[in-house]
Each structure stands twice: as structure tokens, then as C-alpha cells.
């Protein structure tokens, strides 16, 4: 792909006045980039999704397909996205100057990222609500609260979540969203204001914030593990979490769940990784970063499982029921099952504040990456916004306010139904198709150019990644895609006991189609812009533009290798008097 820039540039283009190139921001230090990527990848899914998937799919046996998917799909795609951003020093759209035919991948990433930002900050708003409620003693979802006296603790938490937080009991489904819940609307507004302030100066501000937001969750997890280990019944929960059920390996759903968790937690194909890597130095070792971030992220998921299930085991012991009856998935684990467990602990107010503060940090870090993908894409397409600070602030303010207005639908009484719909389809088959088109094998030479000063093992490891891009990753992605389409056809979408109507499921499919259909649309546009036969148009559309990598002025060890434009048509030469005097001068010397 991008390596074609070494073999030849694009056909002649008219001479245009050069746009003034402005130096691109860079990370203040290597640690800022690593912490930002780790904070982006280590999110709410590591805490509430991985532990549940692990016990549902055979306990410790789930780690086998999980790590296979990590090594053969997660790592190769992660490296591809980091490398594209770092080599091109551009966002998800502009970076496809390396191959204009695939510009739709960048547009599709932008669509996915927009949908994720839309619903992800709603989770942060829920976290805000619970965090504020945690400062009350007793906790408003505990049996000690006066309003909950006649109820048992499990009923208290469910009632608090469904009635006081979500208000879902007042809605009949998608067609009945009901009024906006003003408490959640205020929490959502506060969440977007915090995101706006943290991103006000781009990576210069968010790069400093991650020193707190990316490290604090690890401190909380360690504290929760230590506390959980001292509780009666904790070993029962950990045993349930890890006990292997070998028969589950023959189930295709286990492998699909492993792949979906890798995509969900690493944030592949959304554009956030590509954007953050675009602020790196040209010679940064992306292979080392890929290994550190991906293995660190998956290790965190496994580590978090001990914090979750040790306390769930204690809750099961207190209630005298099996662990599977107290465990839940998704938001139910974070906002129902775990708060219920916290309410049973001595000093429940302190533990609740600590837990929801951790969830807030995890959510904010992930949202930083998604928002960075959107803002970088727009600022690269309209560089005048990057130069004028006032215009940049105005753009960011309008973007956050627009997301807030759209997010109000998700904080109505029936907002959870819309939340589930967007969550189910925004990162489904559309995202898999986008990443499938990223599996190319011609980019290796450009990666070698970036890591030429790195240890020899990096170059050798690149051969493994190339094999994955050509064979393993596309095969596994096609398997996942086939499974998703089969499940989509055979099963219905539901939230609790509510089954989504056919038109709701069709709307979800349209959400996924909008993301991936950008690829053929923009490929058609790129071909139509060229001239000649269809074959000529295609060949021209896959060649890098002459401006590929021109925008990077911050290379530490070498200059960008940009091929000069070639004149491939007939031309005339106008001789001047200097030409003849030069000839006469040469004759007199002879």
C-alpha cells in the first residue's frame, strides 16, 4: 500500500501553490503516549465484560481462544493502525492519501467513533449518578435506607437501577422513549464539560490528565483485590471464575466472544489509536508499543476478574446461593450486581465511592481516545482550525454540545432501549468489515523505515505480523463475520424481557451498514476522479498522493521521502539568450 510511494508517485497534477505547513503537535514524552493508549484500551469492558465472558465460556479455558485471538487478530491490527498513524502523521481520513481508494475506511472509522462516543458518555453519566449517590449514608440502594426497609438488598439494587436511575419501568419500548430524566441529563452535561476541558489543548492537556486517569484504576483494583481476599467466600467466587470447562472450546460462540472482547477492549478500527499514533516521532518503535499495550490491556482484564469475583463470591456466600445467580453481564454487573455486593461490606460508602470513581476514570480515558479520533480527523481535513486556537475551541465546544444534545435520547425513560440498540450494532459487523479491509501486506517496508534504528528482533517479528495480515487475520475475521450474520438472522435482540420489534432490529442493521458502506462509496468517488480506462482509473486510485507524508515536519532522524512530481506528457523548451551565451562561452574556452 504505502510502500508504493517508493516505486513511483501519482500521475502529473497541475502545479498548485504550496499550502503553508504548520508543525504538528507531538506527545510531551513517551510515557504520555503509552499511558494514553493504555487508558484508551483499558476501559469499562475490562471490568464488567471480560470477567463475565470468562465464566460464561468455560472459566479458565476461555483464555485459550482469547489469547489466540489476541495474537492473530488483535496484535496485527493494533500494529497496523499504530503504524499507519505514525508513518503518515495524519488522522483516520487524511492518512489514506497513501491509497485514496481506501479513504472510505477512514470515513467508516469516523462513523463508528461517533456512535461509540454518543453512547459511551451515557455510561459515564450513570457512573456520575452512582458516584454522587455513594456519598449518602446509608447507600440509597442498601437495605439500611429507610425507603428500602421492606425490600431485600437484591431487590433494592434492581429497583434503584431500573426506577431511580434509568426510569425504564415508565417506558414500553423503543417507540416510547418518554421524557428526559433531568438528573441524568445534568450528569451527562457534566461529563461532556469535563471531556471538553480535558481536551481543550489537545494532547498537551489530555496527555497530562492520563497520568492520573490511567493509573488510578490500577490502584483501586489492587485495593479491591486485597479487600476481597479477606472476605469469607471469596475463594468460591475466584474458583467459579477460573474453573475450566474444556467442552466449551468446541462451541463457536466461545471463539466469537473471545474475538469480540479483543476488539471491544483494544479499540481497534475506531480511529483513536491511529490518531494518537499520528503525534508520535517518526522513528518511535511501534512494535514494542504494540506488545506493551496489548499484553498490558489483556493482563488487566484477567487481573480485574479477581477483584470482581472475589467480592461476588462473598455476596453469594452471604446469600447462600451459587455464584452464577449473583453474576451478571454488561451494565448489570457494574450497576446492579457489584453495587449490591458493595452494600454488604463494612464501610460500604467508602468502597462504593472508590469503585465508581474507578469506573469514571476508566470511561473518561476511553472517551479521550474516541474523541481524539474524531477531532484529529476533522482538524487534518481543515488545518486552519488547528492553527487558530479560537476556532479550534469553538469547534470542540460545538462537537461536545452536539453529542450532548444527541445523547439526551439515551437518558429518557426508554433511553436504555436505544442505548442497547446502538451498543449492539455500532461495533458489530460494520467494524469487522472495516478492519478486514485494513489487512494489507505491502506496508511492511514502511514500518522497517520507521524502526530501522530499533533492535533486530523487531524486524524479525515483523515477518510474523506480515503472515498474519496476509493469512491468519483475514481468515479469523471472515469466521467472526459469518458467525455474526448467522446469529443476527437466528436470534432476536432483547433487553431483559423486552424483545425488540423487527423495525428496531432493522434500524440496528442500518447503523452497521452506514459504517461499512462508506468503503465502496468513497472507492467509487476515488475511481471517478481519475481519467482513462477503468483499469487505469483503479491503478491511479491505489497510488499514494504526492502529498503523502508531506505534512510531517517533526521527524527526528530522517527527512520524509517524498517523490517529486513527474512530467509524463509532451512539453516544449523555450531557449533564452543565456543559453546561447553559455554555448559561445564554452566554445571560446575550447
Burial 364-401 (b: 16+ CB within 10 A, else e): bbbbbbbbbbbbbbbbbeebebbeeeeebeebbeebbe
Q: Name the nearest CA neighbour of 46 among 36, 37, 54.
A: 54
Cell of 571: 512539453
Task: Map residue 267 onto helix, strand or coil.
Answer: coil
39 is in an annotated binding site: yes
Cell of 302: 484477567
Cell 475490562, residue located: 46
57 is in an annotated binding site: no
Cell 452535561, residue located: 189
210 is in an annotated binding site: no
Long-range Cβ pairs for the range 154-163 (8 Å, 24+): 154/319, 154/340, 156/340, 156/343, 157/336, 157/337, 157/339, 157/340, 157/343, 158/336, 161/335, 161/336
Q: Mind giving me the DSSP string for 528-540?
A: HHS-SSHHHHHHH
388 is in an annotated binding site: no
169: CB partners within 8 A, 6+ apart: 162, 163
Cell of 496: 431483559
Cell of 480: 467472526
441 is in an annotated binding site: no
162 is in an annotated binding site: no
Q: Which residues pair with 499 in a beta bridge?
A: 494
* Cis preceding-peptide flag for 138 (omega within 30 of 0): yes
CB 44 within 8 A of CB 338: no
Cell of 93: 481520513
Neighbours of 180 (CB within 10 A): 17
42 is in an annotated binding site: yes
Identify the helix (H) or strand (E) that includes residue 494: strand 494-495
Phi and psi based region of residue 202 (left: phi greater than 0; alpha: psi -120 to 50; beta: remaining)? left
Binding-site sequence positions: 39, 42, 46, 265, 297, 362, 365
Binding-site sequence positions for Na(+): 39, 42, 46, 265, 297, 362, 365
Amino acid at each position: 500500500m504505502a510502500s508504493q510511494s517508493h516505486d513511483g508517485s501519482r500521475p502529473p497534477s497541475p502545479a498548485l501553490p504550496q499550502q503553508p505547513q504548520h508543525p504538528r503537535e507531538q506527545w510531551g514524552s513517551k510515557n504520555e503516549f503509552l499511558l494514553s493508549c493504555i487508558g484508551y484500551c483499558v476501559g469499562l469492558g475490562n471490568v464488567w465484560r471480560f470477567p463475565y465472558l470468562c465464566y460464561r465460556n468455560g472459566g479458565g479455558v476461555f483464555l485459550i481462544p482469547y489469547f489466540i485471538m489476541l495474537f492473530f487478530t488483535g496484535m496485527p491490527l493494533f500494529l497496523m493502525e499504530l503504524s499507519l498513524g505514525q508513518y503518515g502523521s495524519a488522522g483516520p481520513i487524511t492518512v489514506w492519501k497513501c491509497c485514496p481508494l481506501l479513504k472510505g475506511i477512514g470515513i467508516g472509522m469516523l462513523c463508528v467513533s461517533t456512535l461509540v462516543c454518543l453512547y459511551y458518555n451515557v455510561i459515564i453519566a450513570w457512573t456520575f449518578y452512582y458516584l454522587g449517590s455513594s456519598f449518602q449514608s446509608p447507600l440509597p440502594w442498601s437495605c439500611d435506607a429507610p425507603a428500602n426497609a421492606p425490600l431485600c438488598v437484591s431487590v433494592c439494587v434492581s429497583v434503584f437501577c431500573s426506577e431511580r436511575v434509568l426510569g425504564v419501568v415508565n417506558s414500553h419500548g423503543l417507540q416510547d422513549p418518554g421524557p428526559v430524566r433531568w438528573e441524568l441529563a445534568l450528569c451527562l452535561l457534566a461529563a461532556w464539560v469535563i471531556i471538553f476541558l480535558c481536551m481543550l489543548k489537545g494532547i498537551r492537556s489530555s496527555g497530562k490528565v492520563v497520568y492520573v486517569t490511567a493509573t488510578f484504576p490500577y490502584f483501586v483494583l489492587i485495593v479491591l483485590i486485597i479487600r476481597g481476599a479477606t472476605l469469607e467466600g471469596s475463594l468460591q467466587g475466584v474458583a467459579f471464575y477460573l474453573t475450566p470447562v474444556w467442552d466449551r472450546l468446541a462451541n463457536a460462540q466461545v471463539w466469537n466472544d473471545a474475538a469480540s472482547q479483543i476488539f471491544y477492549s483494544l479499540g481497534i478500527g475506531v480511529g483513536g489509536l491511529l490518531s494518537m499514533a499520528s503525534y508520535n516521532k517518526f522513528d518511535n518503535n511501534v512494535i514494542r508499543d504494540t506488545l506493551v499495550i496489548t499484553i498490558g490491556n489483556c493482563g488487566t482484564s484477567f487481573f480485574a476478574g479477581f477483584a470482581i469475583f472475589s467480592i461476588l463470591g462473598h455476596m453469594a456466600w452471604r446469600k447462600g446461593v451459587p455464584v452464577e445467580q449473583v453474576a451478571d453481564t454488561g451494565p448489570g454487573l457494574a450497576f446492579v450486581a457489584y453495587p449490591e455486593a458493595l452494600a454488604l461490606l463494612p464501610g460500604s460508602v467508602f468502597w462504593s465511592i472508590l469503585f465508581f470513581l474507578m469506573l469514571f476514570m476508566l470511561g473518561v480515558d476511553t472517551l479521550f481516545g474516541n474523541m481524539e479520533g474524531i477531532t484529529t480527523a476533522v482538524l487534518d481535513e481543515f488545518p486552519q482550525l488547528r492553527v487558530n486556537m479560537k476556532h479550534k475551541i469553538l469547534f470542540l465546544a460545538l462537537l461536545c454540545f452536539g453529542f450532548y444534545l444527541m445523547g439526551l435520547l439515551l437518558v429518557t425513560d426508554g433511553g436504555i432501549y436505544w442505548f442497547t440498540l446502538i451498543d449492539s450494532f455500532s461495533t458489530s459487523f460494520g467494524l469487522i468489515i472495516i478492519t478486514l479491509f485494513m489487512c494489507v501486506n505491502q506496508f511492511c517496508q514502511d514500518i522497517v523505515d520507521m524502526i530501522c534504528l530499533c533492535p533486530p528482533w523487531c524486524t524479525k517479528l515483523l515477518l510474523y505480523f506480515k503472515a498474519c495480515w496476509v493469512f491468519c487475520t483475514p481468515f479469523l475475521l471472515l469466521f467472526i463475520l459469518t458467525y455474526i450474520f448467522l446469529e443476527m438472522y437466528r436470534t432476536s435482540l432483547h433487553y431483559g424481557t423486552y424483545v425488540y420489534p423487527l423495525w428496531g432490529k432493522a434500524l440496528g442493521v442500518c447503523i452497521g451498514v452506514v459504517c461499512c458502506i462508506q468503503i465502496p462509496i468513497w472507492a467509487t468517488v476515488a475511481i471517478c476522479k481519475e481519467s482513462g480506462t477503468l483499469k487505469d482509473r483503479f491503478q491511479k486510485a491505489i497510488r499514494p498522493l504526492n502529498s503523502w507524508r508531506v505534512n510531517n515536519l517533526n521527524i527526528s532522524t530522517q527527512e520524509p521521502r517524498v517523490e517529486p512530481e513527474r512530467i509524463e506528457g509532451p512539453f516544449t523548451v523555450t531557449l533564452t539568450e543565456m543559453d546561447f551565451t553559455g554555448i559561445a562561452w564554452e566554445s571560446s574556452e575550447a
